[in-house]
Amino acid sequence: MLQIRDINKKIGSHTILSNISFDIKKGEIIAIIGPSGSGKTTLLRSLNYLEIPDSGILEFSDGSLKIDFKQHPNKQEILNLRRKMGMVFQSYNLFAHLNATQNITQGLISVQKMPKEKAIEIALNLLNKFGLKDRANAYPSSLSGGQQQRVAIARAVALKPNILLLDEPTSALDKELVSEVLSTLKMLANEHQTMILVTHELKFAKDIADKIIFLEDGKIVTIESPKEFFSSQNNPRILKFIGDLNY
């Protein structure tokens, strides 16, 4: 589906990302893990140009889009890229003045020019699917963190992205709320939604990921299957990381 080649980013003399390359296939789930400051969030945000890499190429295998970051993509290319990439943030990023349904329908109506009635139908179906049927008219301030994150996921999924990008979707949640968000992501995984997920939930990554990328100091240390990563691991640095998280 997508080839990612030689993504690089520096701030001053500090290297944030160095020659990041990997592929993701349709329906595949890639979990990116690693210590704080390793470049995980920057990498994820670079994939839809919320962060601007110094160089690198993104190319969809169907020929629909190729982005060369060194050539500075134009506004239309960036828009096309973001239409293919749904983004779910750590801190939900819901619009406080809009209720749950409106948060989901806004992009459908304003970006995709969908009729309001159709957009509302899609939003209500997703809210029902994610266990939020009774919260359709609730504003973010009256929703728990787990409910807000599920609305945020519904908002991203509603736009039918080719790839769903998730940046530590449970990191801002209390422990008792984490499971409801992970259950939602498992549902999407079972439906073969293509996802790139930054997470510290190692058990969850093991359960749903097809590949694990371990990132450190802006470099890919390894790309392995969950079985290889967790059961046959012999890299001392990775073993220490796993141990520190009490996996």
Query: How high is the pLDDT of residue 244?
Result: 72
Q: Please choose, from the candidates 67, 10, 2, the residue with its C-alpha nearest in 3D space to the C-alpha of residue 39.
A: 10
Q: What is the CA radius of gyration of the chain?
A: 18
Question: Around Cβ 167, how many Cβ atoms within 10 Å?
Answer: 21
- Cα separation values, 196 from 12, 76, 165, Å: 28, 23, 5
- Structural domains of the chain sorted by starting position, each given as residue range(s) with its CATH number in brackets: 2-244 (3.40.50.300)
State the helix-helix crossing angle for 116-129 and 145-158, rounded to 10 degrees.
130
Burial class (CB in 10 A: 0-12, 13-18, 19+), 18: middle
CA torsion, ordered 39, 40, 43, 49, to nearest 10 deg: -110
Q: What is the rounded CA–CA span in Å between residue 94 and residue 212?
A: 29
Q: What is the pLDDT along the chain (247 residues), one digit of tens a residue?
A: 999 999 999 999 999 999 999 999 999 999 999 999 999 999 999 999 999 999 999 999 999 999 999 998 999 999 999 999 999 998 899 999 999 999 999 999 998 999 999 999 999 999 999 999 999 999 999 999 999 999 999 999 999 999 999 999 988 888 878 888 999 999 999 999 999 999 998 989 999 999 999 999 999 999 999 999 998 888 999 998 888 766 6
**What single letter denotes the amino acid at residue 64?**
S
Look up tokens 């962060």; give the residue.
51
The CA distances from residue 175 to 33, 94, 130, 166, 198, in Å, are: 19, 21, 19, 18, 18
